[in-house]
Structure 1
Amino acid sequence: MTTDKSTTLPQSIPVCPVRGSVIYPTMVQHIDASRAISINAIEAAMQGEKVILIVSQKDKDVDDPKGSDLYDVGTACNVLRVRKNPDGTVQMLVSAVSRVKVSAYTSGDYLTADIEALPAVKGKAVELRALSRELREKFDHVASGGKLSAENVQTIQGKEDAGEMADHIAFNLDFTLEDKQALLELPVVTERIRKLLTLLDTEQEVQAVQARIRAQVKDEIDKNQREYYLREQMKVIQKELNGDEGEEGDEAEQFRAKIEALNLKPDVKKEIDREVNRLARMHPDAAEATVIRTYLTWVTELPWNERSEDRLDVQEAAQVLDDDHYGLEKVKDRVLEFLAVRRLRKERAERGELSAEDVNKGPILVFTGPPGVGKTSIAQSIAKALGRKYVRIALGGARDESDIRGHRRTYIGAMPGRLIQGIRTAGTKNPVILLDEVDKLGSGHQGDPSSALLEVLDPAQNQHFTDHYLGVPFDLSEVMFIATANYPEQIPPALMDRMEVIDFNSYIEQEKLEIAKRYLLPRQLIANGLKANQIAFTDAALEKLISHYTREAGVRNLEREIGTVARKVARRIATGEVKRVKVTDKELERYLGQARHTPETEGKEDMVGVSTGMFYTPVGGDILFVETSILPGKGGLVLTGQLGDVMKESARAALSYAKSNAERFHIDRERLDNSEIHIHVPAGAIPKEGPSAGGAIATSLISALTGIPARHDVAMTGEMTLTGRYLPIGGLKEKVLGARRAGIKHIIMPKTNEPDLRDIPLHLRSSMRFHPAETLDQVLDVSLVGGLKALETPRGEGGAALPPKRKSSRRAGEARA
C-alpha cells in the first residue's frame, strides 16, 4: 500500500460553511457567499495564507451555524480570486486541495478550524485496477441515460487517476448530501470506489424504472403537452417508489371521500363522480380543472342530508311570537296553525300513517302589507320558534333568471343561484327562507325570475329543483318558504296561485304606542348608550311623536325619531348639562323642531257642497274633503286636485246620477244644463285615485245642486253606480282609524263591508257610529242635513223648503165664476 505525498496546510484556517453541496479535491469551483459568517471567513483567508476550509452544514436551514452544525470532514482550498458584488455578496473562486479532518471549531466573527490532512490511500494495485474498470463501465451505462452533459461525461472519462474520477462522478451525479459527504470522508480510494459503485447500481435501477414509467405514460398523454407529460411522469414515479398517487390524486381522493360521506342518491352521485374522474385525469393548472374544483367544492359543501330538528311546541312558539311582536294577531294565529298541523303530521308519520314527504308538504305563505309593519321580522321569529336556520334572499330589482336558477358552468364566473347559495349558508336542507320583496321582481332579456320561482314554490315540483350550475336535482321540499310583498297585485297570477296570502294591516296609534314602549325605546337606549333612568318618554310625547312627526303604516320612522331624541339627550348628558331627562309632548319641538304632519280634522260646520270622504295609503288612513261649486257657464264638468281616471269616472257617474234623479231631488234642469260644475279635492299637490270616493263626490255634488248642506261630522267611503248601488271597498280598518283620529263620529260604509268591522278594536268601535248602506239614497239620507226627506221636499232659492200648497175648496170640474 502506498500513500500520496500530503499537502502542507496551516494548522488553523478560516471556515466557509456551505449548504447542500460537497466539493472534492482537484476541483476548481465558484462559491457564492451572502452570510456574514462566510464573508468574514473569506476576508480572513485573503488577509492570511489564502487557504480556506469548505465544509457542509448538516441542516441547510440553519442560517447562523456553529461548529456542532457542521460535518467533521471538509475540503481545504486555495482561494484563487474574490469578487464583491454590488448587493453585498461575495463570489470566490477556489481550488480544492485536500480532504481534511477537523479536530475542533472555534467561534467568533467567523469560524476557524484546527485541521489535519487526510492523505489519499490508493490501496492494492490489482484491486484498484479492477474497481477502476468496473467504475468506468457502470459510469458509461449511467451516462448513456442522459443524466450528464456530454462535456461533463468527456471530462470524467478523461481522468486517469481512479480517485479523481470517483470524486468527479460523485460531484456531478444527483446523490444525496449524506452520500456525497460519506464519499468525501473515505480517504482510501478502493473503499471510496466500492461505495460509489453501490450508489451507481441504485442509479441504474432508478433509470430502469424511469424507462418503464415513460413507456407506461407515453400511451396516455399527448406528446405535445410537455408540462402535462412531466406531471404524469411524477405521479407514476411516486406511485412506483413510494406507493403515493401524488398531490392531484390526493385531491381527487379527498373529494371522493367527501362525496361518499354525503350519502347521495345514485343518479346524483354518478354525475358528480364523473366530474371527480375528470379532475383526476386533468392537469391541475388547467383552466378547466379550476372550474371543476370549484364545482366539486360547492357540491360537497351543500347540506344534502343535514337537517335541523323542528321544535313543534305550539305554546312555546306562541310565547316567542308574543315576545318579539305586539299585535298581528291574525298572522300569529296562522303561524301557530301551521305549526300545529306540522306537529300532528309528524306524529302520524311516526306511527307509520304518513310518509316523510307528506309531513314536509305545506303552504307557501306570502306576507303582504305596507313597509315597516313587521313582515320580515316575524319570519325571523318563525325560524326561531321552529328551531330552524333563517336565510333572507332579497329579490327586489332582480331581473335575471340566473338569480334563481344559477348560471351554467360554461360561462366564466358561473355560480349557483341565490337559493342554493342560501342553502349552503344555512348549512341545513330545511331552513326558513324568506323571499323578500317578491313583488319587486323584474324581467329582462336574461329571462323572467318570477317564472323561475314557479318550480321553487310548487310543493309538487320543488323536490327535484335543478340549479343550472349544479346540473343535478336538489330537494327543496323541506324548506319553509315565506315571501313578502308590499303590493300583491304586482305579483304574477301564476306565482300568486301557489301562495297563501296573509295580510299585514297598518298599526293603529295605540299599537304604535305599545310597540314604542316595549321594543323601540329600549332598543334605541342601548344603541345610544343611555340607561333607563337617564331618559323617560311620557305617553303624551310618544302619541304626539306618532301623530305629528311620522306618517307611516309601520314603525320604522317612529324608531328613527325616537333615536334622534335619544341622541340629543345623550349629548346633553355627556356634556354635563343634565343628568336625566323627561321628554314630554311640549319638549318634542325642542328636539325635533316643528311638527311635520298635521292630521286632518273634521269640518267646523255643515257646508253646502263640501262632503267628507276617507282614503287609505300604505302609510295609513285619513279623511279628505270634496268641494263642489256651481258656476255660470255653458255647461260641463271640471275636475281638479290631481284626480286619477277612476276618480274622474266616479265624478261623471255622480253627475249622471244627479241628472237622472233631478226631478225627484227638485234640481232645476235648466240651471243644471247652463252651469259649469267644478269639483275639487284638496290637497291639490297629492295624486288621488280609487273608486271609494264615489259616495263623497255624489254627496258634495247633490249638496251643491240642491243647496242642502252636507254634515261635517259624517265621513263616507264606498263605490257608487249609475243606478245608485253602493259597492264594497278595501282598507276599511285604516280608513276608520284615520277618520277617528280626525274626530269623525259617524261613518257611512257599504253594507257588504260590515264583516270588516271585526278587525277594528272594540274600544274604538264603541266610540263611533257606523251606517251600513246598500244604496246611494241611504248614503244621502245620513250625509245631508235633513236627509232624504229634505231632498225630496220642494225648495226655494238657497235650498230652503217651500211651504206646502193649500188644497182648493172647489170640486174637480167646478167652473170658476
Structure 2
Amino acid sequence: MSTLYTSSRPEESDSPLHLPLMSLREVVMFPRAIIPLFVGRKSSIRAIETAIEEHGKEIFLVAQRDANIETPQTGDLYDVGTVSKILQMLKLPDGTIKVLFEGLYRARVSDITGLDSAVPMADVAVLPEVDTQTAESEALVRVTQDALKEYARINQKMAKESILAISSLHYPGRLADSIMPHLRLDFQKKQTVLEELHPVERLEKVYAFLQEEIEVYDLERKIKSRVKKQMERNQKEYYLGEQLKAIHKEMGHDHDLQSEFQELEETLDAMDMPQEARERAREEIGKLRRIPPSSAEHGVIRNYVDWILSLPWNRIREGEIDIHAAQKILDEDHYGLKKPKERILEYLAVQALVDKVKGPILCLVGPPGVGKTSLSKSIARAMGREFVRLSLGGVRDEAEIRGHRRTYVGALPGKIIQSLKRVSSSNPVFCLDEVDKMSTDFRGDPSAALLEVLDPEQNYAFSDHYLDLDYDLSRIFFITTANSLASIPEPLQDRMEIIEIPGYLETEKTCIAMDFLLAKQLEANGLANVSVNMSKGAVQEIIRRYTREAGVRNLEREIASVCRKIARRIVEDKSLEGKSIAVTKTNVRSYLGVPKVRHEVGEDKPLVGVCTGLAWTRVGGELLLVEVALMPGSGKIEITGKLGDVMQESARAALSYIRSRGEMFGLRSDFYKEVDIHVHVPEGATPKDGPSAGVTLATSLISALLHIPVRNDVAMTGEITLRGRVLPIGGLREKLLAAHRGGIKNVIIPADNEADLKEVPEAILKDIEITCVDHLDDVLCRALVNTSAETLFCGKEHIVPLASTLFQDDTRVQPQ
C-alpha cells in the first residue's frame, strides 16, 4: 500500500514555483509541522508581507549553513527547504513580528534572485515522495513509536496531545516528519533528515536520533543524581562542622576565630593611619571577639572593620614634579585651553617649593564637547597621580556623598570614600563630573553635602556618616565640571575656582581636527595604513557647514563618518588599495551629503533699516541681521524673532534714545505717533538674548526713520544706555570670528573692550578693521552711508527722508 503526498496543489509539482524566500537561522522547517517564529530581519519581513499579499500566504523556508551570516548569499543556503503557509502574523512593539508557519511540502531550490534587493525570491521544484507501507516499514514504525513513548516519558516538555497525534500515524515518512520538530538536535542533523527523500531511510535516521536522545537523558539523570548526593554530603559535612565549632566554642577551643582576629590586628598594626581611626578599629575588633559569629551584629561590625582597614589613610602617591614634562603632556592631549593649563602648572610649581599644599578646587565650566573631562585625565597623567571620576548627574540623595549610617541595612560609605578605596591612594586627581546636574528631593540636598568636600578650610576633616571618623581630603586635587553656572548654588560656587572654557574658535577646531581627531579616527576605522589626505579646506567646510557647536564632539563624528565611507569604498573597490585618497573642500559634500548648518553672511549692498550685528551663542559667534520696517499707524512697536527679555529691553531703550534726540535728527517731536515700527531678527526659531544688540537695534531704527542705508561691510556689537553710551560686551573673539567668516571687513566694538583684542587670533585682526567707540553718535557716523556728524546732526537743513510726513518740513535733499 502506498500513497503520494506532496502539496495541496499537486498539479503544480511538475513546474517550478516562484515564491518569496525566507532564510532560517538554526531552525529547520518540516512538512506538516506548525512552528511559531520571531522574525526581525527586514528582508524576511518583506518576504512574509509579499507572500501574504501576492502568493496566497505561501513562502519558501530554507535554513542557512552558517547562522552568524546576517545577509546570506546563494551559497550560504541549503538546497532543500520547505514550502510553508503563513497561518497567523502578529506585529510586536519592538518592530519584530511573530509568525505561525505550517509546513506543506519539500522543495528544492533551482534559482534564487533578489537576495540583495527588497524581497528575495526563489524558483523551487516540488519534491514528491511515495510513502509506502510494507512489513519492514510497519515494524520500523512500531519500534519508533515505542521509542517516542520512552522519550516522552523522560522529556516532560512534550504535550500529551502531540504524542497521541504522532502515535496515530502509520506511514514512515509522515511519522519521521512529525517527530523531528520535537527533538533537541542541531539544525545540521535535522537538515539531513529533511533532505532524505526515501521515507523508510528517513524514519531509520529519526529512530537512531531518538535512541541517542534517550541515552543522553539517561546520562543527565545519572549526573543530576550524583550531584544531588554530593550536595547532600557537603551539607552534612557543613552541619557537622558547625556542630564541631559550637563544641569547640563551649570548650573554649575556638582556634579559627582567634587566628582571624589575630590577622586583623596584625594588619591594623602594619597600617599608617591616624590614631583616632586606629583606636576605633581596635575597639571594633574587641567587640568582634565578644559577639558570636551567628549574630547579625557580628557581620555589621566585620564589614565596618574591613572598610577601615582597606582605606588609603596616609598612602600618598608622589612623583618627581617636572614642569616641562607636565606642560608637554598637557599640550599633547589638548590644543588651546590656555587658562586651565596655566593654573595647573602654577599649582605644580607651588607644590615643588612647598612640602604640603592644599589641593585646589577647580571648576571647568563650558558647553559640551570642549574637553573638560578629558582635560582632567590629562592633569592626572601630567602629575603622575591616580585618576578618579564620579558622575553627579541625577544624584539626589545626600547619602551618595556622605554615606549611610551603620544602623541602616546594607549601609555603605559615600561615593567619595568608595572611590578612594578603589584607587588605593589618598591624593588622586578627583573629577566630579556634571556638578550642575544634581537635584534635590526628600532624601536631602547633595550639593549641600559637597560644601564640606570642596571647602579647602574644612575638607581636611571630612566626616562620612558610615565611618564616623575624620578623613583628610585636602590632599586630593578636585576638579569639577559643569555646562552652566546657573544651576550651581552660590555657596558651592564660592568654594571653587571658576575657569570658563567658552569653546573653540574655528582656527582652533581646524588645528584640533588636523593634529588630533583625524589620526584618531583613521586608526579607529582601520585606515591607519591607508594614505588619506584631508585638506585644511575640507576640515573648515565640515566645521562651517556640518557642525554648530562650541566643542569638537560633532566635528569628530563627521570626520568619523568620512572615514567610514572611505573604508567602505576600499572594501568594495580593491583597486583603491595602496592609492592615496584626497578629501577636499569640493568633494567633502559627496561624503557627508547636504550641509546641515547655515551661517549668516553680510548683505550684498547697503539697505535701509537693515543692520548687521554680532551675537554670542553657546556654539560660537553668529552674525545677527536686524531689520526695521515703518508703516503708517498710531505709534505701535512690534518686536519679533523669538527675542529674549534683554534684547526686547534693548530695542525699547534704542527707541527712547531716538525720541530724546529726535530734534537733532530732524524728526518732529511726535513722529512716533503716526508710524508703526516693526523690529525683526530673522531665523526666529533660534532663541536670541543678551545685552549686546543695543547699538545694532538703534542703528537699524535710525536708518529706517531717516531713510539712510547702512553700510553692508560693517558689523557692530555693544549695549547702549538712554544717553547713548556704548557699554562693553562679552564673547568678543567669538563675535569677531563670525564677522570674519561672514565676509565683514569693518567691526565696531565698545571702547572698553579694546583690551580683549589680545585674546583674538592675529590672523583675524589682520583681515578686519576694528573701530572702538564709546557713544552711539560715533557708531552712526561710521555705519550710515555717506554721513558725518555735520550732516547727521544738522537739525532740518539737509536731510529729507522718503516718508517726508515724519519730519518737520520737506526742504532737505536725500543724499546720494
TM-score by length of 2: 0.66
Asked if 1:295 corresponds to 2:304, the answer is yes
Aligned counterparts of 1:425 and 1:270: Cα–Cα separation in 2: 24
Aligned counterparts of 1:362 and 1:418: Cα–Cα separation in 2: 19
Aligned counterparts of 2:295 and 2:570: Cα–Cα separation in 1: 64
Gaps of 5+ in 2: 1-220, 224-240
1:751 aligns with 751
In structure 2, do the counterparts of structure 1 residues 804 and 531 end up closer, same or farther at CA, with 3 Å as the change threshold? Answer: closer
Q: CA deviation at 1:677?
A: 1.0
Q: CA deviation at 1:730?
A: 1.3
Alpha-carbon contact 1:456-1:476 (below 8 Å) kept: yes
1:262 aligns with 271
Q: Deviations over 1:388-412 (max 9, x none)?
A: 1011111122222112111212222
1:524 aligns with 521
Q: CA deviation at 1:317?
A: 0.8
In structure 2, do the counterparts of structure 1 residues 380 and 787 end up closer, same or farther at CA, with 3 Å as the change threshold? Answer: farther
Alpha-carbon contact 2:334-2:375 (below 8 Å) kept: yes
Aligned counterparts of 1:377 and 1:791: Cα–Cα separation in 2: 55
Of 433-442 and 553-562, deviating more is: 433-442
Match of 1:538 among 524, 535, 540: 535
Asked if 1:797 corresponds to 2:798, the answer is no
Alpha-carbon contact 1:405-1:468 (below 8 Å) kept: yes
Aligned counterparts of 2:319 and 2:447: Cα–Cα separation in 1: 29
1:214 aligns with none
Aligned counterparts of 2:682 and 2:812: Cα–Cα separation in 1: 40
Aligned counterparts of 1:620 and 1:511: Cα–Cα separation in 2: 12
Match of 1:235 among 222, 226, 249: 249
Of 479-488 and 555-564, deviating more is: 479-488
Alpha-carbon contact 1:228-1:283 (below 8 Å) kept: no
Aligned 1:116-195 pairs, distance under 5 A: none
Q: Deviations over 1:320-345 (max 9, x none)?
A: 11111122223222221221111111
Aligned counterparts of 1:481 and 1:619: Cα–Cα separation in 2: 27
Q: Deviations over 1:161-215 (max 9, x none)?
A: xxxxxxxxxxxxxxxxxxxxxxxxxxxxxxxxxxxxxxxxxxxxxxxxxxxxxxx
Alpha-carbon contact 1:311-1:385 (below 8 Å) kept: no
Gaps of 5+ in 1: 1-86, 90-226, 240-244, 347-358, 806-817
SS at match of 2:664: coil
SS at match of 1:470: coil
Alpha-carbon contact 2:624-2:681 (below 8 Å) kept: yes
Q: CA deviation at 1:295?
A: 2.3
In structure 2, do the counterparts of structure 1 residues 489 and 751 end up closer, same or farther at CA, with 3 Å as the change threshold? Answer: farther
Q: Deviations over 1:604-651 (max 9, x none)?
A: 111111111111122111111111111122221111111111111111
1:645 aligns with 645
1:723 aligns with 723
Asked if 1:249 corresponds to 2:258, the answer is yes
SS at match of 1:771: strand
Aligned counterparts of 2:670 and 2:803: Cα–Cα separation in 1: 16
SS at match of 2:767: coil
Percent identity reads 47
Match of 1:491 among 461, 471, 488: 488
In structure 2, do the counterparts of structure 1 residues 802 and 483 end up closer, same or farther at CA, with 3 Å as the change threshold? Answer: same
1:77 aligns with none
Asked if 1:271 corresponds to 2:280, the answer is yes
What amino acid is aligned across from residue 250 of structure 1 in structure 2? S
SS at match of 2:710: coil
Q: Deviations over 1:673-712 (max 9, x none)?
A: 1211111111111111111111111111111111111221
In structure 2, do the counterparts of structure 1 residues 659 and 88 end up closer, same or farther at CA, with 3 Å as the change threshold? Answer: closer
Aligned counterparts of 1:289 and 1:565: Cα–Cα separation in 2: 61
Q: Deviations over 1:83-131 (max 9, x none)?
A: xxxx999xxxxxxxxxxxxxxxxxxxxxxxxxxxxxxxxxxxxxxxxxx
Aligned counterparts of 2:791 and 2:596: Cα–Cα separation in 1: 42
Q: CA deviation at 1:779?
A: 2.0
Match of 2:313 among 304, 312, 330: 304
Aligned 1:704-715 pairs, distance under 5 A: 704-715=704-715
SS at match of 1:488: coil
In structure 2, do the counterparts of structure 1 residues 462 and 594 end up closer, same or farther at CA, with 3 Å as the change threshold? Answer: same
2:774 aligns with 774
Alpha-carbon contact 2:503-2:551 (below 8 Å) kept: yes
2:614 aligns with 614
What amino acid is aligned across from residue 276 of structure 1 in structure 2? I
2:398 aligns with 401
Match of 2:352 among 343, 346, 352: 343
Aligned counterparts of 2:616 and 2:722: Cα–Cα separation in 1: 24
Please tell me the root mean square deviation across aligned C-alpha atoms, in Å.
2.4
Q: Deviations over 1:549-568 (max 9, x none)?
A: 11111111111111111111
1:361 aligns with 358
Asked if 1:316 corresponds to 2:325, the answer is yes
What amino acid is aligned across from residue 489 of structure 2 in structure 1? P
Asked if 1:282 corresponds to 2:283, the answer is no
Match of 1:370 among 367, 371, 379: 367
Asked if 1:563 corresponds to 2:560, the answer is yes
Which of the two has higher C-alpha Rg? 1
SS at match of 1:628: strand
Aligned 1:592-631 pairs, distance under 5 A: 592-631=592-631
Match of 2:379 among 359, 379, 382: 382
In structure 2, do the counterparts of structure 1 residues 439 and 788 end up closer, same or farther at CA, with 3 Å as the change threshold? Answer: farther
Aligned counterparts of 1:591 and 1:289: Cα–Cα separation in 2: 66
Aligned counterparts of 1:405 and 1:257: Cα–Cα separation in 2: 29
1:13 aligns with none
Q: CA deviation at 1:799?
A: 7.7
Which 4+ residue blocks in structure 1 deviate beyond 4 angstroms? 227-233, 799-805
SS at match of 1:377: helix
SS at match of 1:490: coil
SS at match of 2:608: coil
What amino acid is aligned across from residue 800 of structure 2 in structure 1? G
In structure 2, do the counterparts of structure 1 residues 314 and 247 end up closer, same or farther at CA, with 3 Å as the change threshold? Answer: same
Aligned 1:200-239 pairs, distance under 5 A: 233-237=247-251, 239=253
Q: CA deviation at 1:296?
A: 2.2
2:132 aligns with none
Q: CA deviation at 1:234?
A: 2.4
SS at match of 1:735: helix
1:30 aligns with none
Aligned counterparts of 2:272 and 2:584: Cα–Cα separation in 1: 64
In structure 2, do the counterparts of structure 1 residues 88 and 535 end up closer, same or farther at CA, with 3 Å as the change threshold? Answer: closer
Asked if 1:453 corresponds to 2:456, the answer is no
Aligned counterparts of 1:331 and 1:532: Cα–Cα separation in 2: 35
2:636 aligns with 636
2:161 aligns with none
Of 789-798 and 538-547, deviating more is: 789-798
Aligned counterparts of 2:345 and 2:316: Cα–Cα separation in 1: 21
Q: CA deviation at 1:670?
A: 3.7
Q: CA deviation at 1:236?
A: 4.8
